[in-house]
Structure formats: structure tokens, C-alpha cells
Structure 1
Amino acid sequence: MMFLLEFSNAIQDFIETGGNVLLVIGVLIFVMWLMILERIFYYLRGHRQATKAALTSWNNRSDKSSWQAEQIRGAMISRVSLALGGNLPILQAMVALCPLLGLMGTVTGMIEVFDVMAVAGTGNARSMAAGVSKATIPTMAGMVGALSGVFATTWLQRTAKRERLKLEDRLLLDHSGEQQLAKS
């Protein structure tokens, strides 16, 4: 219990050192990672079910070679692909927003430094240090959030593309295999 209290005090001190912008960045990073984890769980669970449903639906069709069947196949692939993409554009926007909020924290921290310099003069380094930390900590937090988000969204995009191509291949193989059987 004492550990949780100390941990909560350390987090509170860190947020106070970084200013209000750091709290906004923290909330943004938390929401971003919740959405990333949701996508990962979808890829592990929900996507398999959607792929099975599409494959079952395609295999149950008697006509797989007409123009209409090709359009239905394309629609199935598009539906699964849209579900794979899910909230990736929103995640990309959040990743882009992290460094911008960090920059906003830098500006607000520097404004505080300039206010201290106007009131106390340039000789009071201790009072300027608080503003400098308010300028650098949000920048660091925004960059850390953006970097982690870039790696995660890149992996999610690659996985979505790979899974779409796998589904296309499986549906095409079923179709071409059936054509080869009909020819022989």
C-alpha cells in the first residue's frame, strides 16, 4: 500500500513539474495505447472469426467464376480489410498530435521563464529552472509518446496489409483451384 502512495506522489510531482500540458499529453498517450491494444486484441481474436466467416461464405457459393462472384469476393475482402484498418487513421492523428502538444508545453514553459526573468531579472537561476523544466519535460513526453505510437501503428498497418493479402490469396486459391478441377 505504501508503494502505491509513493508511486502516486511521484507521478503527481512529475505532472506538476511538467505543467498542465503534460497531463493532457499523458491522457492522450493513455488513450492512444488503449486503442493500440484494442487493435492487437482484434487481430488476435476478432480477425480470425471475420476471416473464417468470409472463407465459409465464399466456399458455400456455387458460382465462383462469374463477374458477379468476383465483385462479391472483392466486397468480402473489403469488409474484412475495413475491419482490420479500424481506428488506424485516428491512431495516426494521435501520434502526430503528441509532438505538437509537447511543443505547446515548451512554449508555455518558456513563457514562464520569460515572466520570471521580467520580474526577478536574469540573476535568479533557481526561479528560472522551474520554467525550463516545464519547457523540456512536455517536449520529452510528447516525443516518447509519438515514437512509441509510430512503432505500434507501423506494425499495425503492416499486419493489416499482410492479413488482407493472405485473405485475397486464400480466396483466389479456392477460386483457381476450382477452375483447374473443372478443366481436368
Structure 2
Amino acid sequence: MIDTLTMEVMRLEAYFRAGGVAMLPLALVSLAMWLLIVDRAIFFRRLYHKNMPLAIALAHIRDDRLPDPREYRGAVSLLVARFIQRRSHDRSLDQFILDETVLSINRSLGDHLAVIGVLAAIAPLLGLLGTVTGMIDTFDILSVFGTGNAKGMAGGISEALITTQTGLLVAIPGLYMKGFLDRRARNLQQRVARAGYHLRRQI
């Protein structure tokens, strides 16, 4: 198993070397993008599970009682907890506080999604940069050796193709996950907005 792992590491290292200078920024872009994707996916998953019914949410607000996180951890529970922590017990002012809390939560649901989209869009551009540098290397070899240095030409073409491939491999899943997370965020925003509207009429 150790030998297999060592071989895979060596293959990955050779792949990165063959891709040239564009591979390091591509790797960093991919790492940053997936860290943000995992962070958002875990955050949204937590808000989807153990959701609080509106009747219970209203009871918590009327009793001025924070939700038990072991029992409720969904989006409505988060809204109730933040509102109770900030409420003034003046009905008119509390309605404004509830509206602002809804807006604040909905803004936070969109955090990092634009950055994920930008990183996914940057990846194929970095791949294109690697393509250009690889072709420049190929033409440099052609200008010096003509067509007599097939190995040098193959290295430049390989760099061009590997960086293009890597850029697409980073971008395509990133754009898919961006769309998926956007849909999750919109669904949660609608849920929070509906809960806020219902609770505003009752407090």
C-alpha cells in the first residue's frame, strides 16, 4: 500500500512538473475554491436539518426562550435565536429588528458564493495561460532546433494540454457546485423570509 501511495505521489509530481508554471496557481485556486464549497455545504446542511416549526418558533419568542441547539438547528431556529438576543420588547421596534435580522441572515447565506464563482471562472483562464506558455516554449524550440528536437516539442505541447485539462477539471465541478449552492441559498432565504413574515404579524 505504501508503494502504491508513493507511486501515485510520484505520478502527481510528474504531472505538475509537466504542466509548468501555471499548475501552482491552478492548485491554489482549486484548494481555495473547494475549502469555500465545503464550508458553505456544511453551513447549509446544518440549516436544513432539525428545522423549527413556526408555531414552536412563535412560542419561543413569546416566552423569550432561546432554542435548544440539540433540538433545533435549522434556519428558523437561527432567526429566532438572533431575534431574541436583540429584541427590545417594544412591538413596533421589534418588528423592525425582526426585519433587519431576516435581511442579515439572508445576506450571510450568500457569503462566499460569488468568490466560488470567480475562482471557478479563473481556472480555465489560468489553463489558457499555461497553453500559451507551452506553445511559446514549443515555438522557441522550433526556432532553435527546427523539427529535429521532437522531445523538446513534445514537452511544450504536453504543458499546453495539461494546463488546459487541469483548468477545465477545476472549473467544471466548481461551476456546478456554485449553481447547486446558489439554489440551496435561495431556498433557505425564502424559508427565512416566510418565517420572518409570519412571526412579524404575531409579535
Residue 172 of structure 2 aligns with which residue? 147
Letter in 2 for 1:129: A
Q: Does 2:21 match 1:17?
A: no
Per the alignment, residue 165 of structure 1 pairs with 190
Contact 1:55 1:171 in 2 (8 A): no
Map 1:1-184 → 2, pairs under 5 A: 1-45=2-46, 48=73, 51-56=76-81, 58=83, 66=92, 68-176=93-201, 178=202
Distance in structure 2 (CA, Å) of the matches to 1:73 and 1:165:
15
The count of corresponding residues between Structure 1 and Structure 2 is 176
Structure 1 residues 56 and 8: alpha-carbon distance in aligned structure 2, compared to 1, 3 A threshold? closer
Residue 121 to residue 57, structure 1, CA distance change in 2 (3 Å): closer
Equivalents in 1 of 2:186, 2:133: separation in Å? 41
Identical-residue share of aligned pairs (%): 30
| Contact 1:15/1:22 (8 A) holds in 2 | yes
Shift of 1:154: 1.0
AA of the residue aligned to 1:157: D
User: Which 4+ stretches in 1 moved above 4 angstroms?
Assistant: 56-64
CA distance in 2, matches of 1:126, 1:56: 65
Answer yes or no: is the 8 Å Cα contact 1:58–1:171 preserved in 2.
Answer: no
Q: Assess if the C-alpha contact under 8 Å between 2:95 and 2:200 holds in 1.
A: no
Q: Give 1:125 shift.
A: 3.3
Quote the offset at 1:69 in angstroms: 4.2
Q: Please name the residue that 1:182 is paired with.
A: none
Once the two structures are TM-superposed, the CA of residue 70 in structure 1 deviates from its matched residue by 4.2
Cα RMSD for the two superposed structures: 2.4
Letter in 2 for 1:42: F
Structure 1 residue 61: deviation in Å? 7.3
Asked if the contact 1:51–1:80 (Cα under 8 Å) also holds between the matched residues in 2, the reply is no
Q: Is residue 75–residue 188 contact of structure 2 (8 Å, CA) maintained in 1?
A: no
> Unmatched 5+ residue regions in structure 1?
180-184
**Deviation for aligned residue 1:73:** 2.5
**1:57–1:5 Cα change, 3 Å:** closer
Q: Tell me, what secondary structure is at the counterpart of 2:173?
A: helix
